[in-house]
Amino acid sequence: MASAQRRSEAVRHLHGAAGAIAALTIGLPVVAQQPDTLHPHAVQPERPTVATHAGTVARGWWEIETGLEHDRIGSSTTLLVPTVLKVGVASHVQVEVFGSAEQPATNITGLGDFGVNVKWRLLDDAPILGDVAVEPGIKLPTASPSSGLGTGTTDLLLLLISSHEFGAVAMDLNAGYAHRSGNGTNTPKNATVWTASFGGSAVGPVGWVAELYGYPATSGPAGQASIVSFLLGPTFLPREWLFFDAGIITPITGPQPRAVYAGTVINLGRLW
């Protein structure tokens, strides 16, 4: 699990949300079809990974993603409940409200920072680029940084997305940038992320996802070394509108927690 917001301090540094999954810019196209050819009730999971795909929820329909993630780095642990609500507002545009409940190492349980993203699908099946989308967003300082639940900054976010299909395997490539308010004491003023996510079907409704992702080094008082991590896990699609996932996250380099996660995505139907 995106969002999640994920990868504990690393994700706070990029998305300003509490925990590794918080941003919930997560990706795995479950069905190898263009979004416009899917039934509008077909789920569009953007989890469990850091990456997201270029697909959008159908206009007038809404979807929720939520789950649990347990992070451990040394003797410090964090429990996350990242959640994102997505609404299709146009044929190629969806609005997302994201946030996370969590229990960081301070053992104070509460709600982390909340934010809003807008995903705009620009191209479908373009030569070389595949499906292309941009996702600007803003994260607001709704949680107290002293509790460990928030960063105390307003973050401007931008994610570039390119999705491809190679037979039964889907690939999502992301590049992201975050610029934050404040003086860089609690969290770096600027941060970036890159991801390469792959997924597909295994047997019937059971599938898989694997991802390599990284957070390049940041500067300033709160700066940290670069992070590269790997994610692997199964997925399960019992209904076109219902999706489950689980898996592990393991660090390759840098201060990345080891993590386990499990979650669900539900297409809730038509709003209008």
Each residue's pLDDT tens digit, 185-244: 888 999 999 999 999 999 999 999 999 999 999 999 989 999 999 999 999 999 999 999
* pLDDT class of 150 with cuts at 50, 70, 90: confident
Whether residue 128 lies inside any domain: the answer is: yes
Whether residue 162 lies inside any domain: the answer is: yes
Whether residue 103 lies inside any domain: the answer is: yes
Q: What is the pLDDT of residue 38?
A: 73
The whole-model pTM stands at 0.86
- In the chain, pLDDT over 70 holds for what percent of residues? 85
Give me the CATH number covering residue 163. 2.40.160.40
Average pLDDT over residues 121-142: 96
Domain range for 231: 8-270
Our count of domains for the chain comes to: 1
* pLDDT class of 53 with cuts at 50, 70, 90: very high
Report the C-alpha dihedral over residues 165, 167, 169, 175, rounded to 10 degrees: -20
* Residues contacting 112, CB < 8 A, separation 6+: 5, 17, 18, 19, 22, 99, 100, 101, 102, 142, 143, 149, 150
Whether residue 3 lies inside any domain: the answer is: no
Q: What is the pLDDT of residue 13?
A: 36
Residue 26 has pLDDT above 90, yes or no: no
Distance, CA of 13 to CA of 125 (rounded, Å): 33
Whether residue 76 lies inside any domain: the answer is: yes
Whether residue 240 lies inside any domain: the answer is: yes
